[in-house]
Amino acid sequence: MRQTSKQAVVAVLMFLAVLGAAGAYAQSAVLKLPDVSQHARVTQRIGLTDITIDYSRPAVRGRKVVGGVLAYGEVWRAGANFNTTIELGDAATIEGQPLAKGVYGLHMIPGQSSWTVIFSRNSTSWGSFTYDQAEDAVRVTVKPRAIDPQEVLSYDFSELTPRSAVVRMRWERVEVPFRIELDTRELVAQNLRNQLRSRALSE
C-alpha cells in the first residue's frame, strides 16, 4: 500500500513536470512569433565611442502617422513595442546639452513646427505608457524636415566627423535629426594614458 502511494506521488510529479514543460514550450513558441514591427539595432562609432540605438520598426500601412497615429503634443516611444533605447559608450552632448555615459529610453513629442527629443533615465519600460518627466536626463527641441515617403521607420547616422554625428529618425514624410558630439581629443588622450599605465604595470 505504501509503495502504491509512492508510485502515485511520482506519477503526479511526472505529470506536473510534463505540463510545466509543455507550458514553457508553448510560451517560448509564442515569444518566437515574428513581430509586426521588426526589431533593429544600429551602431555607429564616433572616434573611440560606440553609439547604439535599439528599436522596433513600425510601418505606415496606409495610415496618417504624424498628427494621426502620433498625436501632436503627446509623448511617443520613438519606435514600437518595447522602449526605444540609445546607449552612449562615453559622455556626450546632445544638441549642446551634456549627457553621461549610459543607456537611456528615447522618446519624442511630435509638433507641427518642432519636436522634443527626450533621453530618459528609465530605459526598461514598455513604450511611453509609464513615461515620467521627472526621469528625464536631457530633453532637446529640434526642427523636423520634410522627406520623400518612408514606409518603415528607421534610424541612421549622417554628417559623420571624428567627434560628432547627426542621428536621423525617418518615418512617413518626416525626418527628426539631433546632433551628438563627443570630446574625442580628451577621450583619445585618456585612452592612451590608460594603455601606457597598463603597459607599465604589466612590465
Q: For residue 14, report the phi and psi dihedrals to the nearest 5 degrees.
A: -65, -40
What span, in angstroms and rounded, lies between the C-alpha atoms of 38 and 80? Answer: 9
- The letter for the amino acid at 170 is R
3-class DSSP state for residue 75? coil
| Total residue count of the chain as it appears in this document | 203
Domain spans of the chain, in order of start: 1-33, 38-189
pLDDT in tens, the chain (203 residues): 445 555 554 454 455 454 454 454 444 455 677 778 899 999 999 999 999 999 999 999 999 999 999 999 999 999 999 899 999 999 999 999 999 999 999 999 999 999 999 999 999 988 888 999 999 999 999 999 999 999 999 999 999 999 999 999 999 999 999 999 998 888 888 778 877 776 655 55
Residues 6+ apart with CB under 8 A from 88: 49, 51, 99, 100, 101, 102, 103, 104, 180
Q: How many CB atoms lie within 10 A of CB 88?
A: 21
Grid coordinates 514600437 are at which residue?
A: 80
